[in-house]
Structure 1
Amino acid sequence: MGRSFIPVFTGLLVALSTAPAVPPAPALADPAPAFTDPAPGSSSIRPADDQPLVAADRLIDARPDTLHASEKDDFYHKEVIAGLNNTFYVPYERTYDGLPVIGGDFVVVTNASGGVLSTSVSQTETLNVSTVPRLTRARASRIARAQLPRVTASTRPELVVLARGPGILAYRVIVTGRKANVPSRLRVLVDARTGEVLEKSDEVRTEDPGGPGPRSVPAPKPVSTPGPTPAPTPVTTPVPISGFPAPVPFLFGLGASYYNGPVSINTRQLNTTYSMTDAVRSGVSCGGQNGSVFVSSDNSWGDGSGANLETACVDALYAIGKEWDMLGAWLGRNGLNGTGGGYPARVGLNEVNAYWAGNYANFGRSADGRRQATSLDIVAHEFGHSVFQTTPGGSTGSNEKSMLNESTGDILATLTKFYANEQPPYDVPDYAIGAKADLLGGGAVRYLYKPSLITGNPDCYSPSVLTLEPHAGAGVQNHWFYLLAEGSNPTDGQPVSPTCNGSRVTGIGIRKAGQIFMSALLRKTDTWTHQLVRRATLQAALELFPDSCVEFNAVRAAWDAVGVPAAPGEPSGCVSGNDFDLSIDPASAGVEAGQEVTATVTTRTTAGSPQTMKFSVSGLPEGTAVSFSPESASSGESAKLGIVVPAGAPHGSYSAQILADGAHLDRTITFTLTVDSGSNLVFYDDFDTDLGWTANPSGTDTATDGRWERDVPQPTFYGRVPLQLAASAGQYDLVTGHLAGNRPGAGDIDGGVTTIRSREIALPPGTLTLTFAWYFAHLANSGNRDYLRVRVVSPTRDTVVLQRYGAATLRPGRWQTATVNLSDFAGQTVRIVVEAADDTPDSLVEAGIDDVRITMS
């Protein structure tokens, strides 16, 4: 009878989900932690590299077709992630008409000089969907809570757009409770029009509720807990443990592990007491089922037996340390979460199980009760889920994404074993998961070189794989990784691996394979499939190893060998090392409406061979005619840019983004165009003179701080994230509390709504256009009850012309231009009303308005 690990070991087994609020924002809009003012000059947000961020933002401003952007889409970036070999990853979130878009996120990859190397976008269509729900929030909450057998809490249903086809309006609800014997944190998406459950996925990944559940295997003997704390021993003369050298002054605890022999572990000392808290790796500790960390008075831990829980913690801390160090030394990652942090471990779970719970990992025992499930690879597998969770795109989503999450745990566990490089009788480097723990008495629970050694685990990809239990479906990516690292016929003593197409694959080594895989994880999106991983790893191979085609060819051959088909938009071949730069002369120009202006775009090959590029431009007034001559060129050539501004175009300055879409790399440059509309100007206010705006005109505002005012703003940053900006035109603007400076929480909106209203503006008959500059910035502790809103009000009409909501995501301030057709108000007297609200507890929100114009054509 074939061995099947699934029914009983439900958590090596386990995967989990999205990143906490910062770094820098959650994929799920969970309640964000309360914000407190940082000390001057301090920041909890890692400074981003300027060139990659500027390049990525310019690309987004250019609205390339690959983004499938609609007029209602808005984008905001998270923190820049530095990768290996001067690669940088800029994750973006998308909103549609102010609502978060599930599956609309993407990642822009750049080099250090600001060249855009690639984009990782999973959305395939432009959104076009109504944002008016038919279902009530109360009904959505009841439907979501019914998806979990034991519910302890649920979040307020939040309207989102699911990026399927043209989009589906949905409620997102996070339901917490328990499922079987495992905690649950279930993300449920409920159709806001029909009530259908569109998707549900658990951050605590275990078997499907409808599938085989965990079997409780009685323990043959009770599992022990740590015994009484021994008498204190002087720090300089610790009690020796068999196998250690003679005692010397030390900085580490001495551990008698079960799986790894005598080891040293980082601990923390408080007076004469020591705890199993890693004093070097932030957030890492180990203790019992209630979360309490084990303590001792002599800094010697465990007795080396399989039943002792201190011993289990020695093994856990040792394994976490090896994985942490591997991530840094081999893959360039800072800690488990990417920002220098980690998570606790718990031991003593009285089940044949181990699972990742989203903020800690929990470890049980073997079926015979003789060992804890804390072998090097099992521990590294569970904490591998924390890496998947804290890379872009989080980990909630489809069943296929869960498979890739489980495989990630196996791959990082295997990398950890090779990094640790233990020798017999310990866990030697191999491609079998859980062999030393022997949880069920049958050896390993998964094999990367031939997944089908476990019944029901496929070696090859097919559509039927997508319906499998996630741990079984993990075999496809596991097999790909083995072939990439070792090849199909290794010469280093590793096993022969079958290929699904009969090909012979040559490996590139496990370290390079791990680097390519890590780079793919940094491109991960909310929607994540085998084909998207294939495309991401091919792009990673080109960008990490630009002077070689060996890695790219090996990645493609390994995917072909496990049967994953080519993905749309994946690189068709290996052409690497090419780069160019871009300039424009003049960089700015003025023009009257109805006239033409020209400039010259020049390119220069800076590395490799010339590459063909196509030019486009965005950000100009509606109706502007643009031409390039020639339309495409090779780097090293120039093109003439012609811009014909339509008659009646709104007066103002426009930052046009010119995109050179190269065959192997993209670059953008900004051209500033100033349009003079002459006598067509009906109303203009750059706020450098007082034209009579009235704050709190109805006397009903509730904001206690950060109220709208006309003044000279103080540019304000949180770390290097801009929140309050200098005026867009002149020195003054409308700003929510101009005195902030280096204390970002001192002048932002607090306590509710703030309003400001213009004087009466008499509009003539004709075609009228309103334009104004605006920004709306917030930290990841914002929510959709925060907003910026602009209305145009007449005696008979009240029309919202701009509305943006907050979200539990970092949104840096950036001046943008809104253009509104006011022809329906022609001949009437109107006022412009600007509102902003901080209605989410403890959020930090800033907004600004400038350069308000009404023109007639």
Structure 2
Amino acid sequence: MKAAGAAEEVVDGAVAYVRQVAVDRGDEEFVAVGVSSGPRGLSFHAYERKYRGLRVVGGDFVVVADASGAVLGSPLAGQGAISVGTVPVVSAERAARVARAELAGVDAVGAPELVVFSPEGEQTLAYEVVVRGRSVKGTPSMLHVIVDARFGAVLAEWDEVLAGIGHGHYYDDVTIDTTRTSSGYSMSDRTRSGMFCGVQGNGAVSGPDDVWGNRSGTDLETACSDAYYAAQQEWNMLRDWLGRDGFDGNGRAFPIFVGLNQVNAYWNGHTVNIGHSKDNQRQLSVLDIVAHEHGHAVFQFTPGGFDGYVETYALNEASGDIFGALTEHYANHPDDPPDYVYAEEADALGRGPERVMYDPSAGPRDEPNCWSTAIPSTEVHDAAGPANHWFYLIAEGSHPGGGKPDSPICAGGPASVDGMGIRNAGRVWMTALMQKTSFWEYADARVATMNAVTQLFPGDCAKFDTVKGAWDAVSVPRQSSEPGRPDCGDPIDDFAVAVTPTSAEVDAGAAVSAQISTTIVTGDPQTIALAASGLPTGVTASFTPASVTSGETSTMDIATTASTPAGTYRITITGTGTAGSRTAVFTLTVRDEQPDGCTGFETTRTGTLGSGGSVYQPDGRYFHTTVPGAHRACLDGPDSANFDLYLQRWSGSSWATVARGVTSAADEELSYSGTAGYYRYRIHAYSGSGDYTLGYDSP
């Protein structure tokens, strides 16, 4: 009876909080969607919102209560009352047509649902449309498209189907839990509801005896044995290390299918699908691959699901890698020693590990180690780099010793970070996921993990400093809503330096400005002197003011001359205080002289647009660059019109605008330095109509 009373008290505390906030919000309804338990008696109460009967996409929140029932924090403090019209201008049929155009191959389009779209405090009447089919790369897709109900523009999109890439590895002489049937045995698990392994299109693998596989890299029963073992190890890790009941948090697992005829593995919202290596000699049924894909299930079945922008997908991919590392360490199999590299054993694509958590830039994809404003336009697996880097730092630290690799610290970060061990690191991440909301971004993950470490380890300054220091070390900025350091003694004085924006393009002879911000990492404020180095010939940099107190900002003015050579320059901004020097990097690109009109470009396209119309070029499709480099484009529109130009890049789940020309003129120019990938141009007739010419160069 005491346990039941305590649970009721916890629930009542959360309900009372929600009721109190709802008093002045007569048009809103708060809907409880689930309660989950955590360590130290913590409970997590997930809520969704409705506004005048419409579902609020991005309006979810989580109330955290301690063992006594006291509510921790104010999850609704930053979410104002909703006030938006509910009569759409755009019809549901038009919204469906707009959503349909976002997918390369369409099998079905769901009925548009009128919603209030409200990520990060935004409030827009919109439609959510689910389109089923295939992505631009031919992979399965279940795409959610948010269409503005006033203007018909696509506001956001996300895909239920999540994919990874890996290798096959065989675990000999392991014990797996199977089921006895009337005719023999089945690779299904009665103790883990919903878990079985089968070949694509079939049910669970079965046989006359309880011995599975023949150690062959191409045998599908062997692949099922490996994948099934890996899934059971991850289930056990979630239970024993993180206190979670199954992949969905409520005792449920999901089927695994091997035999996918792709160099790929993916989670599609309800099953894990495993393909083969590029040379077709191995199935991709290794511990970290299988755990990564099931990690997407954990991400989906925590508050907020997987709805969101590119950063949400990046954090989902990082979460998969984190669960892969955790499962490897838990299993500790001698044929696959635990580490922090992903897909390292089979060399599936002929390039070694696919991802390196302790130094993402060292992997074949050259993922960024540090967060920057470029992350939202970065391919989602690559954009996971900073979060993978952060997890290694909190688990092992920047200089762990014992044969473990050192991990670099980004400009402006602390001198070093001390790890707390992978099990504690996993508990912090899992507890943060329990406070996740839709449209989760790096800034939200920083706040959630810092809340988590204070909830799990109250008063433990060392662990708090580890989590905070690791985020500083990967350049995720400090947030006003994050908790303060526990009162457990004076920390050392430390500061960080950052620059916004991080890059700019100018013509020779022009000037550019940027904001230099300083923050107190720990301890008391100190005076910081600012300087710049790495300036090209004839370029000067000045700071106003030249010295600041940590926590204050300065303006940096960079002036070029007419004779400044064209090129891209890496300028280092150094702040020097009593704690030493901290740096940030600003990239300055001095442009070549643009050609007159839209002539002299490698590719040219022409067409006609009516007012309000849009078109994608080239020829309604996209183009592929295999190397990084500069994109440059020119749009020549009618003199009496206002045509806008956008460059979009495929992120792996959606098209993201990475550069734009949106002045009030008829003609537009843009330039962008990007990675290899898929790109397209969008031309929009903001006002007026007529013929246009598009010219562009690509790497």
**TM-score bracket, shorter-length normalisation:** 0.5 to 0.7
1:182 paired to 2:139: yes
AA paired with 1:201? W
Residue 266 of structure 1: how far off its partner (Å)? 1.3
Contact 1:48 1:80 in 2 (8 A): no
Question: What is residue 206 of structure 2 aligned with on the other side?
Answer: 295
Residue 441 of structure 1: how far off its partner (Å)? 2.4
AA paired with 1:193? R
Cα distance in 2 for residues equivalent to 1:329 and 1:135: 51
AA paired with 2:430? M
Question: What is residue 263 of structure 2 aligned with on the other side?
Answer: 352
Residue 122 of structure 1: how far off its partner (Å)? 9.2
State the SS of the aligned residue for 2:333: coil
State the SS of the aligned residue for 1:516: helix
Residue 373 of structure 1: how far off its partner (Å)? 0.7
User: Alpha carbons of 1:479 and 1:432: their partners in 2 closer, same or farther (altered >3 Å)?
Assistant: same
Question: What is residue 466 of structure 1 aligned with on the other side?
Answer: 376
1:415 paired to 2:330: no
Residue 123 of structure 1: how far off its partner (Å)? 5.9
Question: What is residue 195 of structure 1 aligned with on the other side?
Answer: 152
Residue 47 of structure 1: how far off its partner (Å)? 12
1:531 paired to 2:449: no
Residue 506 of structure 1: how far off its partner (Å)? 0.6
1:94 paired to 2:52: no
Alignment length (residue pairs): 480
Contact 1:87 1:112 in 2 (8 A): yes
State the SS of the aligned residue for 1:358: coil
Q: 1:63 aligns with which of 9, 21, 35?
A: 21
Structure with bigger helix share is: 2
Q: 1:54 aligns with which of 12, 23, 45?
A: 12
Stretches of structure 1 that go unaligned for 5 or more consecutive residues are 1-45, 208-213, 220-256, 577-857
AA paired with 2:14? A
1:171 paired to 2:137: no
AA paired with 1:52? V
Q: 2:356 aligns with which of 418, 443, 447?
A: 447
User: Alpha carbons of 1:420 and 1:483: their partners in 2 closer, same or farther (altered >3 Å)?
Assistant: same
Cα distance in 2 for residues equivalent to 1:75 and 1:468: 35
Cα distance in 2 for residues equivalent to 1:517 and 1:371: 32
Contact 2:169 2:284 in 1 (8 A): no
Q: 1:491 aligns with which of 401, 404, 411?
A: 401
AA paired with 1:520? A
Contact 2:459 2:486 in 1 (8 A): no
Describe the superposition over 1:145-171 as per-residue Cα deviations: whole angstroms up to 9, x where unpaired. 222232222322111001155510001
User: Alpha carbons of 1:568 and 1:318: their partners in 2 closer, same or farther (altered >3 Å)?
Assistant: same
Cα distance in 2 for residues equivalent to 1:266 and 1:443: 32
Question: What is residue 105 of structure 1 aligned with on the other side?
Answer: 60
Residue 467 of structure 1: how far off its partner (Å)? 0.9
Contact 2:218 2:281 in 1 (8 A): yes
Contact 1:122 1:525 in 2 (8 A): no
AA paired with 1:549? C
AA paired with 1:526? S
User: Alpha carbons of 1:491 and 1:122: their partners in 2 closer, same or farther (altered >3 Å)?
Assistant: farther
Question: What is residue 292 of structure 2 aligned with on the other side?
Answer: 381
Residue 119 of structure 1: how far off its partner (Å)? 4.2
User: Alpha carbons of 1:258 and 1:485: their partners in 2 closer, same or farther (altered >3 Å)?
Assistant: closer
Contact 1:538 1:570 in 2 (8 A): yes
Contact 2:163 2:267 in 1 (8 A): no
Matches within 5 A, 1:609-648: none
Describe the superposition over 1:451-488 as per-residue Cα deviations: whole angstroms up to 9, x where unpaired. 00124300111111221101001010110010001000
Contact 1:171 1:190 in 2 (8 A): yes
Contact 1:322 1:419 in 2 (8 A): yes
Question: What is residue 550 of structure 2 aligned with on the other side?
Answer: none
Stretches of structure 2 that go unaligned for 5 or more consecutive residues are 489-699
Describe the superposition over 1:311-349 as per-residue Cα deviations: whole angstroms up to 9, x where unpaired. 000000000011000000000000111000010111111
Describe the superposition over 1:87-107 as per-residue Cα deviations: whole angstroms up to 9, x where unpaired. 100001011111111111000
State the SS of the aligned residue for 2:30: strand
AA paired with 2:223? A
Residue 268 of structure 1: how far off its partner (Å)? 1.4
Describe the superposition over 1:96-153 as per-residue Cα deviations: whole angstroms up to 9, x where unpaired. 1111111110000001211011244596443221011111222222222222232222
State the SS of the aligned residue for 2:427: helix
State the SS of the aligned residue for 1:556: helix
Question: What is residue 342 of structure 2 aligned with on the other side?
Answer: 433
AA paired with 2:148? D
Contact 1:259 1:376 in 2 (8 A): no
Question: What is residue 564 of structure 1 aligned with on the other side?
Answer: 476
Question: What is residue 647 of structure 1 aligned with on the other side?
Answer: none
Contact 1:153 1:176 in 2 (8 A): yes
1:505 paired to 2:417: yes
State the SS of the aligned residue for 2:34: coil
Amino-acid identity (%):
45
Describe the superposition over 1:398-450 as per-residue Cα deviations: whole angstroms up to 9, x where unpaired. 01100000000000110001111122xx1101100111232112221001100
AA paired with 2:134? R
Matches within 5 A, 1:787-798: none
Residue 272 of structure 1: how far off its partner (Å)? 2.2
Contact 1:122 1:532 in 2 (8 A): no
Residue 79 of structure 1: how far off its partner (Å)? 1.7
State the SS of the aligned residue for 1:127: coil
Cα distance in 2 for residues equivalent to 1:48 and 1:291: 46
State the SS of the aligned residue for 1:264: coil
So what's the TM-score if we normalise by structure 1? Answer: 0.54
Matches within 5 A, 1:226-625: 258-423=169-334, 426-454=335-363, 455-500=365-410, 501=413, 503-575=415-487
Residue 492 of structure 1: how far off its partner (Å)? 2.9
User: Alpha carbons of 1:473 and 1:195: their partners in 2 closer, same or farther (altered >3 Å)?
Assistant: same
Residue 57 of structure 1: how far off its partner (Å)? 1.0
Contact 1:128 1:166 in 2 (8 A): no
Cα distance in 1 for residues equivalent to 2:76 and 2:280: 47
Q: 2:27 aligns with which of 38, 48, 72?
A: 72
Contact 2:256 2:273 in 1 (8 A): yes
Contact 1:375 1:437 in 2 (8 A): no
Cα distance in 2 for residues equivalent to 1:259 and 1:565: 42
Residue 387 of structure 1: how far off its partner (Å)? 0.2
User: Alpha carbons of 1:575 and 1:50: their partners in 2 closer, same or farther (altered >3 Å)?
Assistant: farther
Matches within 5 A, 1:796-835: none
Question: What is residue 842 of structure 1 aligned with on the other side?
Answer: none
Contact 2:63 2:71 in 1 (8 A): yes
1:116 paired to 2:27: no
Cα distance in 2 for residues equivalent to 1:55 and 1:572: 24
State the SS of the aligned residue for 1:553: helix
State the SS of the aligned residue for 2:46: strand
So what's the TM-score if we normalise by structure 2? Answer: 0.66
More contact order relative to length (CA 8 Å, sep ≥ 6): 1
Cα distance in 2 for residues equivalent to 1:121 and 1:492: 44
Q: 2:95 aligns with which of 135, 140, 144?
A: 140
Cα distance in 1 for residues equivalent to 2:210 and 2:5: 38
State the SS of the aligned residue for 1:169: strand
Contact 2:6 2:68 in 1 (8 A): no
AA paired with 1:442? R
State the SS of the aligned residue for 2:50: strand
AA paired with 2:389? H
Question: What is residue 669 of structure 2 aligned with on the other side?
Answer: none
State the SS of the aligned residue for 2:353: coil
